[in-house]
Structure 1
Amino acid sequence: MQQPVTDSGYSWFRLLLTLLVATVANAGMWAIIVIMPAVEAEFATTRADAALPYTLTMIGFALGNFVIGRAVDRFGVTLSLICAALAIVAGLGLAILSHSIAMLSLAQLLVGFASAVGFGPLIADISHWFVRRRGIAVALVASGNYLSGAIWPMVLAGILQDSGWRAVYAVMAVVTLVCVIPLSLALRRQVPEDARDAAQLASSLNAQSSGLSPRTLQYLLGLAGIGCCVAMSMPQVHIVSLCVGLGFGPAVGAQMLSLMLLGGVGSRIVSGLLADRLGGVRTLLIGSILQCIALFLYLPAGSMVSLYMVSLIFGLSQGGIVPSYALIVREYMPAKEAGARVGFVLMATILGMALGGWMSGQIYDLTGSYQWAFINGIVWNGLNIAIMIWLLNRSRPRAPRMAVQPL
């Protein structure tokens, strides 16, 4: 009897390896948040300028999701991972040598670009190996980004306190080389063409129900992604700086960030299970509404205990949003273009994170408070909710129910 290609034992083993790669490859995205107060103090700059390296990181991360996603479509995931790992190490090395905000920002642009291999490209790759359980598979791989954010800030905070932020980056460079390249060699197997063709047929049927072309839907999802992630960026990017400003210290902020992101991991897993029943559009709408409620809860929070609680609530609320975009792409768009299409939409979400991180810093500098920054996020979140409601009313997305394709 022939073994199935999708939803097989190998599919789950590949998912585990992919999750490990994502947890390491995404570290550069989160380390810059941990070192932001140290960078602000070393270079004697404003809060907005100190957030500039993060903004450049996210711009690079956004572009990397699209460019590396296209590379995965053409060259496969293994070669893309190897090249990206080497680029991450090069970017971290340049950051270590930085003696200005401008030089650090340029180095972070490269780090962000290469680190993107651990997000959209891996999500697109694993989506080919699952049909009936695609929602949970995509959610688990996307959780590698949050696991990275939950684990690395805690690990790196001690190194930062004892040896400075440059030592933090040296450790990250070594870990990336030792882990990512060997694991990438275990992901060389490709999905057979007949399985891709079957997925192509299913996405075409869903696309017809929406009445939107793939390009139009792609741009619409990109706009929605910017809206939700401008909102998402306020707590994720500025929680450490918020805690420093309130006198709680960077270590407490790093703990809140880790708690938030661990909650996001749980949220992504639950959302993945939900998406296998409801589809990507409904799952995304639920997550976006819950995120908006959580942002409102930050407004009255000011004590350490309340911020811990709201940060956990926020993580539990919004974790499933970004993976849902990838599911919508796979439900409605050509399977053979998954890397590029998923990469474009996730690029838009990350640009929203970059814009929101910078915008929140500017609002803080103008007002001396993060209250208006949270309100700004709530308004952008409303844009995302409106788009998802419109899309849901226009079409009736279906969770995939295709038969597993044999070899």
Structure 2
Amino acid sequence: MVAIAAVSYILLYGITYSSFGLYIVPVSDEFGLSRADMNVAMILLMLGGGLASPAVGWLVDRFPLKLIMLVSAIAIGAALAVLGLSHSLWLDAAMVLIPLPVALAGAGYLGMSALIARWFVHQRGRAMALSMLGMAVGGIIVPPALAWLIETTGWRYSLLVGAVAVVAILIPLFALVRAPEAKDETAAPAGNDVQQEVQSERTGAPLAIGEIFRMPLFWTILLAACLSMSVMQSASLSIVPVATEAGISMLEAAFLLSLAGAGTTLGNVLVAAIGDRIDRATILAGMFLILALGNLIFLNGKAYYLLVSASVALGLAGAMTPVFFAFVADRFGSNSFGTVQGLMFPATSLATAAAMRFSGEVFDRTGSYSLMFKAFTALAIAAALLILTSRFVAARSNRQHPAGPPLQSQ
């Protein structure tokens, strides 16, 4: 299951999120769009995912994952093909808003992460990190390949190649997916002595939406996620535009994306080694501070070696995703993982959309990303402080929900 997840992440995220920056210049030139207008495409993708995620998460916790993933793979391939062939901005916007984000949720960050959370209890952090190495590897190998296709054959042909690859590779892989046998999640390993005493996970039926909304822990984690993920996505999206504005070629800018992917790969390897040994809130706080450092480096110079350093820092911080997913599964139980993540994603999507629009407006109005990087540095530090407070909020949540098994503290 880990190998299937890794390969799917390579394709899904390598072709979409990791390579979106490659399309900003050629697409904006063809359609006469501003940078802020181009960022609307990613905003629509995030908003579409946010609107669909509660329903997709509910389905993930209640219906066969194999069926959801197979349908999603077909939808992703179809959406990419339409984007490659369409000459209508309205049709493009519809594809980016509805079928593409819904299918990415079903085959990727909700469906696949729920599958890993259910298959692994004692080594959940390691399994999440190893599977999400696919995101990092995709960020290393896919952008240069797409950049070459864009420069030699055009951006439209590159999307058609991506559509064929998704359908031809993922459908046979997803056909191999199977549900795990029922597992007892009441005795996850305590790890080393820096962890708090491990308490039992909630098991059985998924948590009701109303119960989740009444948990202070949910809102604390959600706010930290909104701040960190919006900064992460928006700063990463700006790597290529910042580089090209500094006079760097498209291929050299794509190399920065590969370096960010290499940083995420290294981060995931480290998470796989320590993710089940150290309190996950502490790991997340450290990654948020690295994210702040990356933005601070971008703020203080545009020399290529500084761009390299900042890209690697953003890449390292990108390894927050598997830690966060394991963190959520620990706190709320794997049977409620899809529902909780689905409820969080609309807010994180709106926050990311706002941050992306903000970044585009800052450049269009000032001709520079400096104000954006200043704001992002402060927001990343705030996210680190928030996630650290989740330990206190977790203890309160456990006391306030005595009827069932307490939420796991690690």
Q: Same fold (TM over 0.5)?
A: yes
1:288 aligns with 2:277: no
- 1:180 counterpart (170, 178, 182): 170
Structure 1 length normalisation: TM-score?
0.85
1:152 aligns with 2:142: yes
Rounded Cα–Cα distance in structure 1 between residues aligned with 2:344 and 2:136: 18
Rounded Cα–Cα distance in structure 1 between residues aligned with 2:41 and 2:55: 21
Rounded Cα–Cα distance in structure 2 between residues aligned with 1:271 and 1:21: 20
Q: 1:194 to 1:391 in 2, by over 3 A?
A: closer
Rounded Cα–Cα distance in structure 1 between residues aligned with 2:266 and 2:343: 25
AA partner of residue 171 (structure 2): I
1:195 aligns with 2:195: no
Rounded Cα–Cα distance in structure 2 between residues aligned with 1:339 and 1:197: 19
Counterpart position of 2:238: 238
Counterpart position of 1:252: 252
Rounded Cα–Cα distance in structure 1 between residues aligned with 2:382 and 2:93: 30
* Contact 2:297–2:306 (Cα < 8 Å) also in 1: no
1:347-403 deviations in Å (ceiling 9; x for gaps): 544443333222211111111101111112122213312311322344479776xxx
Rounded Cα–Cα distance in structure 2 between residues aligned with 1:326 and 1:46: 35
AA partner of residue 124 (structure 2): R
Counterpart position of 2:378: 379
Query: Residue 120 of structure 2: SS of its match in structure 1?
Result: coil
Counterpart position of 1:50: 38
1:359 aligns with 2:349: no
* Contact 2:69–2:111 (Cα < 8 Å) also in 1: no
State the 1:324 CA deviation.
Answer: 2.3
Alignment RMSD (CA, Å): 2.5
Query: Residue 131 of structure 1: SS of its match in structure 2?
Result: coil
- In the alignment of these two chains, the number of paired residues is 378
Rounded Cα–Cα distance in structure 2 between residues aligned with 1:310 and 1:194: 42
Rounded Cα–Cα distance in structure 1 between residues aligned with 2:384 and 2:56: 29
Unaligned runs of 5+ in 2: 189-197, 204-210, 396-406
Counterpart position of 2:154: 164
State the 1:145 CA deviation.
Answer: 2.4
AA partner of residue 115 (structure 2): D
Superposed counterparts of 1:104-183, under 5 Å: 104-109=92-97, 110-116=99-105, 117-183=107-173
* Contact 1:121–1:339 (Cα < 8 Å) also in 2: yes
Name whichever of 244-253 and 34-43 sits farther off: 244-253
State the 1:79 CA deviation.
Answer: 0.6
State the 1:184 CA deviation.
Answer: 0.5
Rounded Cα–Cα distance in structure 1 between residues aligned with 2:346 and 2:273: 24
1:301-338 deviations in Å (ceiling 9; x for gaps): 2112221122113312x123222221222112133212
Runs of 4+ that moved beyond 6 A: 197-201, 396-400
Q: 1:173 to 1:126 in 2, by over 3 A?
A: same
Counterpart position of 1:325: 324
State the 1:60 CA deviation.
Answer: 2.7
Counterpart position of 1:94: 82
AA partner of residue 59 (structure 1): L
State the 1:204 CA deviation.
Answer: 4.0
State the 1:168 CA deviation.
Answer: 0.8
Counterpart position of 2:206: none
1:298 aligns with 2:286: no
Query: Residue 51 of structure 1: SS of its match in structure 2?
Result: helix
Unaligned runs of 5+ in 1: 1-13, 206-212, 401-407
Rounded Cα–Cα distance in structure 1 between residues aligned with 2:183 and 2:300: 55
* Contact 1:36–1:50 (Cα < 8 Å) also in 2: yes
Counterpart position of 2:223: 223
1:253-283 deviations in Å (ceiling 9; x for gaps): 2110121122112112312432201232121
AA partner of residue 201 (structure 2): S
Rounded Cα–Cα distance in structure 2 between residues aligned with 1:229 and 1:348: 11
Q: Identity, % of aligned pairs?
A: 25
Structure 2 length normalisation: TM-score?
0.85
- 1:20 counterpart (7, 22, 28): 7
* Contact 2:118–2:335 (Cα < 8 Å) also in 1: no
State the 1:37 CA deviation.
Answer: 0.8
State the 1:135 CA deviation.
Answer: 0.6
Q: 1:143 to 1:120 in 2, by over 3 A?
A: farther
Rounded Cα–Cα distance in structure 2 between residues aligned with 1:319 and 1:30: 11
Q: 1:264 to 1:74 in 2, by over 3 A?
A: same
* Contact 1:330–1:338 (Cα < 8 Å) also in 2: yes
Rounded Cα–Cα distance in structure 2 between residues aligned with 1:64 and 1:185: 24
Rounded Cα–Cα distance in structure 2 between residues aligned with 1:246 and 1:346: 34
